[in-house]
Amino acid sequence: MSSRPLHAVLLPPEPGGGRFPDLLSAALDGSGPAILPLDPALPRPRLQDLLSVFAPAAIETPDGTKRLAAPGPAFPKAAAAGRAAPGVDPDIAVVVATSGSTGVPKGVQLTAAALRASAAASLARIGAGPAGRPGQRWLCCLPPFHVAGLQVLVRSMIAGTSPVVTDGVDAATVAGCGCAYVSLVPTQLRRLLDSAAPLDAFDAILLGGAAPPPGLLAEARAAGARVITTYGMSETCGGCVYDGLPLSGVRLRISDAGLIGISGDVLFSGYRPEQAARPAAGAPGGGAALDEDGWFWTSDLGALDDDGRLTVRGRADDVINSGGEKVVPGEVESVLGTLDGVRDVVIVGVPDSEWGELVTAVIVPEDPAVPPELARLRAQARERIPGFAAPRRLILVAEIPMLASGKPDRQALRAVAASQGGRA
């Protein structure tokens, strides 16, 4: 089978989108190469690692197209994962780079058909595009090297509108953009609320990337915002479940191990390099694998109610084993986040000689001068969750460190909790 050239794209956000929308459009309609969007701010060693593994034929930069010679030595940890062969399958339009659990990068391969199906289903669900008001534009304030930002651009193309592209978002941007739709991560929504941004100016706000802290949705909706929570990942072309219900063409299942399975026309077509697509042992239930029936098995725990509405409990690899009991951090966070004095909370497990892992609450207090006390938190939590899930340590921080994707940096928080010890 013939292959299609792959170009890495390192372009900063520009008003009007700059060259990126044109490159994306050509990738979608087949008139140009497939694209690999990368963060232009990446340190040079990391960039070289990615170029070595993914083997693009060229790099698109603000200075134009730069052809690449054969890449240098492969990423040091990539020996087991192999290195991609030049080019991609002809139907692949975009490769989204993600970091594997081993530290070896892998690329999620998305077809034009999958990206368009996702965008069309999203527009239909929120009443945008041809079915909405003419000229409804999207504010793109998420980087296009993440699937959420990329899909804002695809939705705009499908709807026939031009996005407003910004490097971040603030109250002034919201007030002056004249846009009807935006995709945000919880941290952005929190900051916009704190700055009294006119969120009711949007017809809809898609909120994804991480579970919103308890109370955030209620506060935003009280401010007049129409917030729609989304669940998905790069492998599903971004959000494919809105407010718990799958988009048109998307199907959900829960495995015997409690993991979320997804199928439909929004799914990716495997990983790059191909070796990275090896099914996890025991799939379904192994996580991050496509089975022989076309189901993608995530690493997320979930449940479906009688109406088919999905509740995401948390990631399986974040589960804390404490005293022989399994604690799902997201379920504890949803309780603690509603308690007085708690502005934000993340639950992590810290190694402990007695308990195996100690359930530790990392909390941003509402008032640093009057922080919550561990004994009160435990007592209130035990009214709603089992005693073994109530935190046994408390760490107070000024803010929760975040990953670029908008998710809490749990690895950093585990290190902070382990170093500080906390209050027992």
pLDDT at 35: 97
| Residue spans of alpha helices (H) in 277-344 | 329-336
Question: CA-CA distance, 150 to 182, in Å (whole number)?
Answer: 12
Determine phi and psi for 105, rounding to 5 degrees: -65, 150
pLDDT at 215: 84
Instruction: Please give the single-letter amino acid code of residue 303.
Output: A
Tokens representing 101 are 């659990």
pLDDT at 324: 81
| Residue spans of alpha helices (H) in 263-355 | 329-336
The pTM is what? 0.81
Residues 6+ positions from 163 with CB-CB distance below 8 Å = 17, 21, 137, 138, 139, 140, 152, 153, 156
pLDDT at 323: 83
Question: CA-CA distance, 378 to 358, in Å (whole number)?
Answer: 13
Residue 409: pLDDT band (50, 70, 90) is confident
- For the cut 90, the answer to whether the pLDDT of residue 286 exceeds it is no
pLDDT at 279: 47
Q: Mean of the per-residue pLDDT values for the chain?
A: 86
Contact 107, 54 (CB under 8 A): yes
Which SS3 state, helix, strand or coil, does residue 402 take?
strand
Give residue-wise pLDDT tens across range 31-74. Answer: 999 999 999 988 888 888 889 889 999 999 999 999 987 544 44
H/E element, 326: strand 325-327
Over residues 309-333, the mean pLDDT reads: 88
- For the cut 70, the answer to whether the pLDDT of residue 161 exceeds it is yes
Question: CA-CA distance, 99 to 200, in Å (whole number)?
Answer: 36
Give residue-wise pLDDT tens across range 345-403. Answer: 999 998 887 888 899 999 999 999 999 999 999 999 999 988 989 999 999 999 998 87
Look at 48-52, 68-72, 103-107, 171-175 and tell me which has the smallest mean pLDDT. Answer: 68-72
Over residues 100-106, the mean pLDDT reads: 59
Contact 93, 116 (CB under 8 A): no
Over residues 408-416, the mean pLDDT reads: 88
- For the cut 70, the answer to whether the pLDDT of residue 421 exceeds it is no
Contact 142, 148 (CB under 8 A): yes
Q: Of 395, 402, 397, whose CA–CA distance to 424 is shortest?
A: 395
Higher pLDDT, 316 or 279: 316
